[in-house]
């Protein structure tokens, strides 16, 4: 299935039902009075985050979503029934924004999270609502209120802790298959990966994180060249980037030039993404003779002018992958702890608070 991470939909909540004008007609009750009920409310439109979905393709072919209107009020003090609600299932990580203003309205960040994206109109009042001491036979009623109508843009940003960044054929798919349960397509030609792949990396009991493998980038990606530019948005929510570099390109290209091109495209696309923690992962050591590895790694780091963490691995033979995974987990765990809000302790009981 082709990965779809953007769609446009039109949603319409149901209109409220109209109120009713009615009077009692009972034997021996000459002045029965009004008994027209209110109309029912229109149906709401909900969005729920479904962890079993990973694409917006369903909304590409089904654009209109209309909830039912409320039932009109009836005599004998009977209110109209509310219109049926509709629930739209969306992948976790979906951003819902207004097409006209571009304003972000909602974000679905947690599994099973449900939000109201269009509210149904309230029902109108029946004539029983207008009865008073000076108006005992009212003939007024009100129509139902209209439901909300919105033109929405759906945009999916994959929720992952680590994002893989690199040129096509750098070995990203092999790496994610080596460290996680993901089984992406792997071949000896570029652009094998056509859509993001997610893999859960298990470090130990109840210790895991999520890695996203994106299509490879090429020079000019920020302007739309290649495939990876369509999915750069998925890196914006990651906590850590792994810049995977092929130390032994099959076409004889300079890996330093390729790595600099990727970093340049990242900076052009989003400076905030460029400032994210980024680790250098030098892959395909198995393709380099053992006596040349240290010299080639040292030469690459020197010419690339990189001062951050450097990991030397071979995704094919799993060499160095364990150290990379454990280091990443510790980094992610530290970030999660730092992001937790401080626990408030009442000063009056500070001495009794646990350490």
Q: What CATH number does the domain containing 146 carry? A: 2.70.210.12
Look at strands 94-98 and 149-156 and give their pairing: antiparallel
215 secondary structure, DSSP code:
P
**Are 176 and 265 contained in the same domain?**
yes
Q: Are residues 293 and 242 in the same domain?
A: yes
β-strand pairing of 45-50 with 86-91: parallel
pLDDT beyond 60 at 282 = yes
Q: What is the pLDDT of residues 20-34, one digit of tens each?
A: 999 888 777 767 789
Which pLDDT band holds residue 149 (cuts at 50, 70, 90)?
Answer: very high
Q: How far apart are CA 323 and CA 327, in angstroms?
A: 6
Give the pLDDT confidence of 55-72 residue by residue, as tens digits.
787 887 888 999 999 999
Is 283's pLDDT higher than 70? yes
Q: Do 245 and 270 share a domain, yes or no?
A: yes
If asked whether residues 297 and 170 sit together in one domain, one would say: yes
CA distance 153 to 249: 40
Instruction: Tell whether the model's pLDDT for residue 156 goes beyond 70.
Output: yes
Q: Could you tell me if residue 348 is inside a domain?
A: no
259: left (phi over 0), alpha (psi -120 to 50) or beta: alpha
The pLDDT of residue 273 is: 80
In angstroms, the CA 295 to CA 83 distance is 72
Which region among 56-60, 203-207, 321-325, 338-342 has the lowest average model confidence (pLDDT)?
A: 338-342
Both 235 and 274 in one domain: the answer is yes
Residue 266 maps to a domain: yes
Q: What is the pLDDT of residues 183-237, one digit of tens each?
A: 644 444 344 444 567 777 888 776 778 888 876 555 554 455 444 455 676 677 7
Write down the mean pLDDT value for the chain.
81
| Domain final position from 95, 130, 156 | 156
The answer as to whether 353 is a domain residue is no
Mean pLDDT of all residues in 11-15: 94
Task: Count structural domains, the chain.
Answer: 2
Share of the chain above pLDDT 70, in %: 81
Mean pLDDT of 331-349: 70
| Of 204, 156, 194, 203, nearest in space to 173 by CA | 194
- Same domain? For 175 and 140 the reply is no
Does this model's pTM top 0.75?
no
78 and 226 within one domain: no
Same domain, 5 and 59: yes
139 found inside a domain? yes
Whether residue 190 is found in the same domain as residue 172 = yes
Is 349 contained in some domain?
no
For the ranges 33-42, 129-138, 285-294, 333-342, the one whose mean pLDDT is highest: 33-42
Instruction: Give a yes or no: residue 192 inside a domain.
Output: yes
State pLDDT tens for residues 255-270: 888 888 888 878 887 7
Q: pLDDT band for position 341 (50/70/90)?
A: low
Q: What does DSSP assign to residue 352?
A: G
What pLDDT does residue 346 have?
59
Is 311 inside a domain boundary?
yes
Same domain (yes/no): 317, 175: yes
* CA atoms of 89 and 181, how far apart (whole Å): 25
What pLDDT was estimated at residue 2?
A: 41
Host domain of residue 120: 1-156
252 vs 280, residue with greater confidence: 280
In-domain check, residue 355? no
Same-domain check for residues 113 and 194: no
Instruction: Tell me: pLDDT of 293 over 50.
Output: yes
Task: Tell me the average pLDDT across 247-253.
Answer: 77
14 and 127 assigned to the same domain = yes
Q: Say which CATH number the domain at 242 has.
A: 3.40.50.300
Q: Which two tokens stand for residue 47?
A: 């969005």
Domain end (from 156, 178, 196): 156
Between residues 124 and 253, the one the model is more confident about: 124
- Boundary-marking domain end, from 132, 156, 180: 156
Task: Using the predicted structure, report yes or no on whether residue 10 has a pLDDT greater than 60.
Answer: yes
């Amino acid at each position: 299935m082709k990965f779809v991470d953007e769609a446009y939909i039109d949603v319409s909540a149901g209109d409220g039902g109209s109120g009713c004008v009615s009077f009692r007609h009972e034997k021996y009750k000459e002045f029965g009075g009004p008994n027209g009920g209110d109309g029912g409310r229109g149906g709401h439109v909900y969005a729920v985050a479904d962890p079993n979905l990973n694409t917006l393709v369903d909304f590409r072919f089904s654009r209109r979503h209309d909830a039912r209107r409320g039932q009109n009020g009836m005599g004998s003090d009977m209110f109209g029934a509310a219109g049926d609600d509709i629930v739209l299932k969306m992948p976790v990580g979906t951003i819902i924004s207004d097409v006209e203003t571009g304003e972000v309205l909602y974000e679905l960040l947690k599994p099973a999270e449900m939000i109201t994206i269009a509210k149904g109109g309230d029902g109108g009042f029946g004539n029983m609502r207008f009865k008073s001491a000076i108006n005992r036979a009212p003939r007024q009623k009100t129509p139902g209120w209209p439901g909300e109508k919105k033109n929405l843009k759906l945009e999916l940003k994959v929720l992952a802790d680590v994002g893989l960044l690199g040129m096509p054929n750098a070995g990203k798919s092999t790496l994610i298959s080596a460290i996680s349960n993901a089984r992406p397509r792997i071949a000896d030609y570029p652009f094998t990966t056509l859509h993001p792949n997610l893999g859960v990396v298990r470090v130990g009991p109840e210790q895991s994180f999520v890695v996203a493998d994106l299509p490879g980038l090429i020079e000019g990606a920020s302007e739309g060249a290649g495939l990876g530019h369509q999915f750069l948005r998925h890196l914006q929510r990651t906590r850590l980037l792994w810049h995977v570099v092929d130390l032994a390109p099959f076409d004889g290209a300079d890996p330093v030039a390729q790595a600099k091109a990727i970093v340049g495209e990242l900076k052009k696309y989003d400076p905030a993404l460029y400032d994210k923690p980024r680790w250098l992962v030098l892959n395909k050591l198995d393709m380099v003779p053992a006596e040349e590895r240290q010299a080639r790694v040292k030469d690459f780091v020197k010419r690339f002018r990189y001062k951050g963490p450097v990991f030397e691995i071979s995704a094919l033979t799993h060499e160095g992958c364990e150290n990379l995974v454990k280091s990443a987990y510790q980094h992610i765990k530290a970030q999660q702890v730092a992001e937790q809000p401080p626990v408030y302790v009442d000063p009056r009981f500070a001495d009794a608070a646990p350490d």
